[in-house]
């Protein structure tokens, strides 16, 4: 189970004085069309704790691509640039190669410079006064690594040969390192674990490791991170220890691919991907995104778990400076989880998406 008391130690974006809040909504594919409307209703229930929300429905995704030949229309990008923030549902990126298709969420992270994907994984204790068994945050670099999608395939005497370019830059590593240390600064343990595989990838992962380790010594930091302890873990052993002893982790900072894998694995510790939220954060924009995928096996059945999308809305609002509204969303979700009476099938229950949402709305 999961609770998200994550406060935003980084600079809140300059929306807290507005009379209205313009929120882009991109359900995209599969269950995104079911959980994003749930998050919208949860936000609407907050009333005066946030500026009056104005929702802007936007299109993107693989299903849109199959109809129109593009996954991310320019109209969506232009509209987002006029929004204060956004919520993204899920995308059904195929595992096979589809000519002309590229993931819209990967593209949006680059276009809007949402360089940090922040994924808290925190268990809900049976008693609110107890500490959670799992309490960690995965801070995933969001713009490079293998996700630059520079791949080639050629034919040689040995058959087809495929290659992919992996990009790690000092600038991106420094930015994500700063974000990780800022988050750690506001947490009780004040501990950062750098995830890498530099024993094999000594140049790319080596640069990531060295750059993040050097963040506390940067002149502009001016000693603010001196009280934070730093550890390192090879990515394969990190996954092993994540399942064996998750309590050793506080803030885990990783390159793009490793962060993606680790955060999905961590979701197993708290019961379901349907519980784990995230935000894609930059210096000027934030986009909430549940960690789960489009779940085509249950899409349209009305049994998708709306909690991750509502948690993501809470993280988004917290990043914008609306902590009171975010706290109300998290508290309502906590109560529904603890009660355990109305839960979707991924958590062992039998409730519909709308039934879980109704229970949460009652408590908001």
Residue 322 annotated in active site: no
Measuring CA to CA, how many Å separate 309 from each of 116, 277, 304? Answer: 18, 6, 10
Distance CA 165, CA 14 (A): 37
Residue 175 neighbours by CB distance under 10 Å: 21
CA angle 273, 261, 102 (to 5 degrees): 90
The dihedrals phi and psi of 168, each to the nearest 5 degrees, come to -130, 120
Q: Which of 147, 249, 258, 322 is catalytic?
A: 147
For residue 304, give the DSSP letter.
-
Return the beta strands (E) in 135-291 as ranges: 135-141, 145-156, 159-167, 191-196, 229-234, 251-254, 279-281, 286-288
For residue 215, give the DSSP letter.
G
Distance CA 277, CA 291 (A): 6
The total number of residues written for the chain in this structure: 364
Residue 186 DSSP SS3: coil
Residue 90 DSSP SS3: strand
Residue 147 annotated in active site: yes
User: What is the token pair recorded at 232?
Assistant: 């390192």
Q: Which of 29, 205, 250, 260 is catalytic?
A: 260
Residue 142 DSSP SS3: coil
Distance CA 74, CA 82 (A): 13
Q: Which of 49, 133, 264, 327 is catalytic?
A: 264
Q: Which of 236, 240, 284, 362 is catalytic?
A: 236
Q: Which of 22, 33, 178, 197 is catalytic?
A: 197
Beta pairing partners, 153? 162
Helix (H) / strand (E) containing 358: helix 353-363
Residue 346 annotated in active site: no
Q: Which residues are catalytic?
A: 147, 197, 236, 260, 264
């Amino acid at each position: 189970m999961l609770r998200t008391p994550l406060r935003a130690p980084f600079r809140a974006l300059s929306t807290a004085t507005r009379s209205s809040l313009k929120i882009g909504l991109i359900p995209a594919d599969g269950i995104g069309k079911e959980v994003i409307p749930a998050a919208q209703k949860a936000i609407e229930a907050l009333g005066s704790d946030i500026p009056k929300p104005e929702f802007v429905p936007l299109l993107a995704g693989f299903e849109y691509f199959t109809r129109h030949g593009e996954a991310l229309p320019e109209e969506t990008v232009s509209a987002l640039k006029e929004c204060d923030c956004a919520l993204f549902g899920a995308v059904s990126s195929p595992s096979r190669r589809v000519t002309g298709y590229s993931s819209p969420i990967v593209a949006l992270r680059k276009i809007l410079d949402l360089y940090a994907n922040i994924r808290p994984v925190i268990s809900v204790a049976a008693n609110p006064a107890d500490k959670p068994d799992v309490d960690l945050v995965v801070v995933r670099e969001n713009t490079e690594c293998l996700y630059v999608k520079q791949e080639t395939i050629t034919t040689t005497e040995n058959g087809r040969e495929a290659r992919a370019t992996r990009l790690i830059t000092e600038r991106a590593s420094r930015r994500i390192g700063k974000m990780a240390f800022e988050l750690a600064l506001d947490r009780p343990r004040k501990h950062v674990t750098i995830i890498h595989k530099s024993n094999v990838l000594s140049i790319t992962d080596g640069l990531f490791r060295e750059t993040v380790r050097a963040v506390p010594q940067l002149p502009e930091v001016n000693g603010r991170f001196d009280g934070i302890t730093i550890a390192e873990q090879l990515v394969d052993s990190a996954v092993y220890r994540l399942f064996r002893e998750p309590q050793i982790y506080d803030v885990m900072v990783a390159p793009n691919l490793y962060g993606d894998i680790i955060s999905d694995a961590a979701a197993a510790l708290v019961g379901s991907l349907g519980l784990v939220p995230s935000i894609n954060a930059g210096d000027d924009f934030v986009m909430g995104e549940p960690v789960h995928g489009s779940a085509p096996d249950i899409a349209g059945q009305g049994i998708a778990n709306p909690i991750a999308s509502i948690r993501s809305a809470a993280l988004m609002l917290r990043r914008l400076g609306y902590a009171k509204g975010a706290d109300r969303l998290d508290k309502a979700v906590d109560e529904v989880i603890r009660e355990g009476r109305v839960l979707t099938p991924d958590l062992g229950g039998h409730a519909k998406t709308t039934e879980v949402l109704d229970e949460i709305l009652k408590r908001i």
